Structures are given as structure tokens and as C-alpha cells.
Structure 1
Amino acid sequence: MSSDHEPISRRSLAFVTGATGLLGNNLVRELLAEGWRVRALVRSPDKAARQFAGLDVEIVKGDMLDVAGFADALSGVDVVFHTAAYFRDSYKGGSHWPALKAANVDGTRALLAEGWRAGVRRFVHVSSIAVLTGAPGSLIDETMLRRERDADDYYRSKILADREVLGFLAAHPDFWAAMVLPGWMHGPGDIGPTSAGQTVLDVAAGRLPGLPPGSFSVVDARDVARAMILANAHGRRGERYLAAGRHMTMAELIPLIGAATGARAPTRRIPRALFYLIAAGNEVYARLTGKPVLLSWAMARTVAREADRSRYDPGKSARELGLTFRPVAETLADEVAWFRANGWLTP
């Protein structure tokens, strides 16, 4: 905790949703390192106890599907950092629009309203590169918005969540909010694990049959956390700020993961037709068993549609926020070290 003689601004109270997630837990750590007090919203106190062992964090149990249930914990909060989102299951077979809308759109609307009633006047919202698009190979910036009709269900939920934030700003002139748009996040603390962490574990275990098609914008979750803090400190009201990281194909990323884990990475590329075939088989399996799959039809379509649409212009975030990105190799080394330290990987 901060000492009494530190500036009051250094002891502000942050409310972090999705606090045990890959981004959320790294944001909590960054805030604590800067002297903030942190109130962390979690669904699982047991997971929070593991994630934040030894840290001075106030834990609030709650769910974005029932914002009213934790609304009292928004009292006295200086800034809400909203990282929680329903994402992973939306790419694991079947249709998930009701759950996506309830958590990502309706939950954001309720959080804004309950925060306002509790006296919150600042809000940093985690959006997504999903709300942007451009031609293959083009450099995409914050002005290049994706049309709702060109979005899959997850992308659509993020577009609509952004509209909730912008609509709330329009209706409340004395409210401040900004949006941070991350790419595919890797890094330590991936207790889920996310699809990024699972990819690392799969490469380490030799479970990846080949190099998947497609490209991504790879970013360290700690850099996205830094972007959120910088957006609160220096960002402009209602603005979007990219924290997307570096454009990489899977053929470039997988060998780096292999080097970080000490595993032999696959070298043969998976043809797109075979990629679709695997996804179709997984989708049938998911529908018959009700169990999640690693590669669904929705994920395959997204990979194909977004191929080479993963080059994002960091200029605005660099100029206005001073945001920089660490090397991907450093991110992967720290991610692997965390998995090893927590028993996910053997040395």
C-alpha cells in the first residue's frame, strides 16, 4: 500500500473488471506498482486467491451478467477499468450470440449506468481490434471502423459495446471515457489459459499438427495494461487507442514459441482446405457432445477472413500516450517462465 505522504493522485481507487484474466491480472499488478488502490471484480474468489497471492487487492465477487449485484462496490471508485468480456466459448462451436450480447453489450451498459449512480466519472473500456478493418496488407488505424454487417458475433458484440460507451458519453457531458483496442494477447499470468496460452502449451507438448494459416497482431498483455493506464492519464475523451502490437503470421510466431519452450515446432503448413476440414469435423463433434473444441468453424472463418488484415498503425497511441511495445521474444519467454513456475510446463 502507499504511504500517507504520497500524493493523493497516486492513491486513487481503481475498479478492475475481469481481474483474474490475462489482461485484468496484469493491469492489477501495474496499478499496484504505481501506487493505486485496487478493487478487483472476480467470478471465482479461489482463482483470485491464487492469482493475487501476497498482493494487497480488495476482492469483489460478481459477474457482468448481474452488475446490480456488485454495484455497491463501485462507490468511491475513481476509475473503472473494464477488461471483462465473454470471448473464448464463442469460438468453440455452436451459436453464442445471447451470451455475447448479455455480457459484452448489456453488461457494459449496466456497468456504465451503475457506475454513474455510484459517482464514477472516469471509465477506460477494453474494446478490440475487431471493431476495425481494412484491405489485406493495409495499415489499419482507429478511424477504419468495421461495419456491423461484416462482423461475426463476437466482433459484433464489441462494436455494440463501443456504441454503448459512446452513447453514454453523448448523454453525460461530465463523464469521461476512452477505449483501448488490443490485439492477440500473450504474456505471464494466463491462468485460463486463453487461446494464446493454449497455443504455447500445445506447441510445447507437440500437439500442433502443422503451421496454421492466417496472421495476427501479437501484443504483450502487460503492454495493453500500460496502454489503459496511459489512456486514463493522457487520453482524450471518447477516443480509441490501438494497443495491437506486431503483425505476425502463424508461420513466424510458432517457431518463436518453439524456441521459448525448447520444443520442436512444426514446419509443415496446414493447407487452408484441410484447416476448414478439421474445423468442420470439430464443429460436428461439438454439436454432438456439447463439449468445447479448440478449432471451430467460426474460428476457421475468422482466420481466413482476417488473413493479412492484422497490420495496425501504432502512431496515435505512441504520440498521445507514449505507448511502446516490448519484443515478442521477451513476451514469450516470460509467458513460458510463468507456465513453468505454476506447474503447467516441466522444465
Structure 2
Amino acid sequence: MILVTGATGLSGSIVVREAARQNVPIRALVRDPDKARKFHGLPGVDVVEGDMLRPETLTAALRGVERVLMISSPRERMVETQRTFIDAAKAAGVPHIVKYSGKESGVGFDPGSFIGTREHLEIERHLEASGLAWTHLRPSQFMEAYLPGTLTGLDPHRRELRLSIGDSRLAPVAIADVAKVAVALLSSGGNEGRAYDMTGPEALTMKEVVEQISAATGTAFHHVELPLQDKLRECAEAGMPEPSIRIVRELFAERRRRPQSHVRLETHRAFGVRPTTFAEFARGHAAAFLDANVFGGMK
């Protein structure tokens, strides 16, 4: 049995749907069963309730599991949550965990830099020391990060992408591509003790990003480069909690420090996944880019 944690989140949901599309039976761990209604009718998807921070709730979820894709929110005690889950999985006899990790901007791990990178690295080390078989799947920034309602997304009211990262070139990857690789890792062996980095096929400036969104939507969008303090003030005024504002501050500082992302397509090639271009992603999500109703949300 395969288990996916964080199944109702953005990444987890896409992985569950990809497994169903490929007819790969999967168990989806959820904290809120109401949020799992979107999985109703998907073939081979077994929804089970549990909390990664409460091992006593995981007995049913972990029973008979051979491989786990471990995902949890980066804003909800991620290190504690995933370390606790790793220990519970080991105690339950789960042999292999695939960690859905991360690489800021596609430039690699630097323990002294971005907080998200540091936390992922801490969890990776805990998993590697656990005695379990492990695999790390490390996507860079997601293309979905530019959708309205995300930390770094478009403002559909102003028709602007308002950021503070200078002339950085980033190589975002489509979550759909990552999901295809994740399902391949979960449904086959031979990938233990390996780390797989993933980026998109192009390193784009923010000007190029908005040009492609404009072409896809038929609506003119613009990139506005803000001073960092102005961007942080906007985040606070939009109701963003302080921990998330701290992440944004470090995120933008890291992207200014490392402005050039490196395109890494080895993982796409290894698993036979055709890389989605940003233009393709923008066309497929044109309606979402124009949806002013989601602005201000936190995915």
C-alpha cells in the first residue's frame, strides 16, 4: 500500500489525482475529511483520517504501508510534524519514505540561507538517520506560485505581479510534472538513497513571466518591482500572519543573493516526463490568473 500525507493540500491533491489517472491504488491521509470530498469517485483512492503530529491517530493510516510520500504544510510546524511522522512510520514498520522536499530557486541547498531550505534539510537528515529507506524529491519553485492567492502571486485587481526580487531568473516547475515523478517513485523500487532535483525547462525573469501570462489570458499584466519593505507592508495589510511575512522576507533576500536559477531536467528525463513550459501552464490556468476572488488567500 502507498500512503500520501498532506493529501488535501495543493501538491498532495495533484499527486492523488495523478495516481488515480494512472490506476495506482493509493491511501490519502487527511486531517479534515470534509476537505477530502474532492477525491470522491476517484478510482483506487482510499481516504483515511489522521494527524501527522499525533502518532496515536495514525494506526489505520500506516497499516500495511510499504511506501510513503511525505508532504506537509511549510507554515504549520513542518520540522516537528515531519520528524514526528518519520518516527511513527518507523515504529509501525513502514520500510520506505519518499520526502517531498524543496530547493529554493533551483540553486541547491545552503544550510545558512532560506528558512524553508534549512527546514527541509533538517528533515532530510532526520530521515536519513532513521534507518528507513529514503528518497528525496526536490522540486524548485512551483509555477503555481504565480497564481492569485499565493505568497508571491499576481494581484488580479491591479493586473500586476508585485515582487521584490530584482532581475532574478527563476526556473519554476509545474506541480503536475512533479506528481508524475512522485507516482513513479511510489509505484516502483530501486530509488532508495537517492535525491531527485527538479526545475522547469526555462529560467525566466519576472518580466518574461508576466508577458507569458498576458499572452495566455489576453489581458495585459505588468511586473512591478517593489522595495522590500513596501512588499512586506502589503503582505501585512493583506492579513498575512507574521511567520509567513518572515518567510517572504527571507525568500526575497535569497533570490536577490542568488539571482540565477539553473535548469535541471535530469529527473524529467529519468522518468520519461515531458517538461511543461510556463507558456503551457499559463494557458492551462488562464481563468485562474484572472480570478480576483482568490486574492489575499494563503495556499
TM-score (norm 1): 0.70
TM-aligned CA deviation for residue 210 of structure 1: 5.4
Gaps of 5+ in 1: 1-12, 88-98, 134-143
Query: In the aligned structure 2, how far is the partner of 1:120 from the partner of 1:29?
Result: 23
Cα deviation, 1:62-87, whole Å, max 9, x if unaligned, reads 33332432243110123211122324
How much has 1:319 moved relative to structure 2?
A: 5.3
* 1:120 positional shift: 1.8
Over the matched positions of the two proteins, sequence identity in percent amounts to 26
1:75 equivalent in structure 2: 63
Per the alignment, residue 109 of structure 1 pairs with: 83
Which residue in the other structure is 1:58 paired with? 46
Question: Is 1:178–1:240's contact at 8 Å kept on the other side of the alignment?
Answer: yes
- 1:182 matched to 2:115? The reply is no
C-alpha distance in 2 between matches for 1:131 and 1:166: 24
d(CA) in 2 for partners of 1:33, 1:231: 16
Q: How many corresponding residue pairs?
A: 288
Partner letter of residue 240 of structure 1?
Answer: A
- Taking a change above 3 Å as real, the CA distance of residues 307 and 123 of structure 1, as seen in their structure-2 partners, is same
| 1:248 corresponds to | 204
Return 5+ residue gaps in structure 2 as ranges.
none
Matched, 1:257 2:213: yes
- Report matched runs for 1:151-166 at 5 Å: 151-166=113-128
2 CA distance for matches of 1:292 and 1:313?
28
Mapped contact 1:275–1:300 kept (Cα < 8 A)? no
Task: Give the match's secondary structure for 1:178.
Answer: strand
Would the aligned equivalents of 2:115 and 2:247 in 1 still touch at CA under 8 Å? no
SS in 1 for 2:173: strand
Determine helix, strand or coil for the equivalent of 1:259. Answer: helix
Residues 252 and 211 of structure 1, relative CA distance in 2, 3 Å threshold: farther
Please state if 1:23 is matched with 2:23. no
The C-alpha deviation readout for 1:316-341, integer Å capped at 9, x for no partner, is x2454334312222222222356789
Identify the range of structure 1 (107-116 vs 21-30) with the bigger mean alpha-carbon deviation. 107-116
Match of 2:191 in 1: 236
Higher helix share: 1
2:281 aligned partner, one-letter code: T
**Equivalent residues in 2 for 1:114-125 (5 A)?**
114-125=88-99
Aligned-residue Cα RMSD (Å) equals 3.5
Report the TM-score, using the length of structure 2 for normalisation. 0.80
**1:26 Cα deviation after fit:** 1.0
> Moved runs in structure 1, 4+ residues, more than 4 A?
209-212, 282-296, 337-341
- 2:255 is aligned with 1:297: no
1:287-336, Cα deviation, whole Å (9 max, x unpaired): 9996976994334323322321x213323x24543343122222222223
Residue 265 of structure 2 corresponds to residue 278 of structure 1: no
CA distance in structure 2 between the aligned counterparts of 1:293 and 1:82, rounded to whole angstroms: 25
The answer on whether the counterparts of 1:280 and 1:297 sit within 8 Å (CA) in structure 2 is yes
The worse-fitting range, judged by mean Cα deviation, of 77-86 and 229-238 is: 229-238
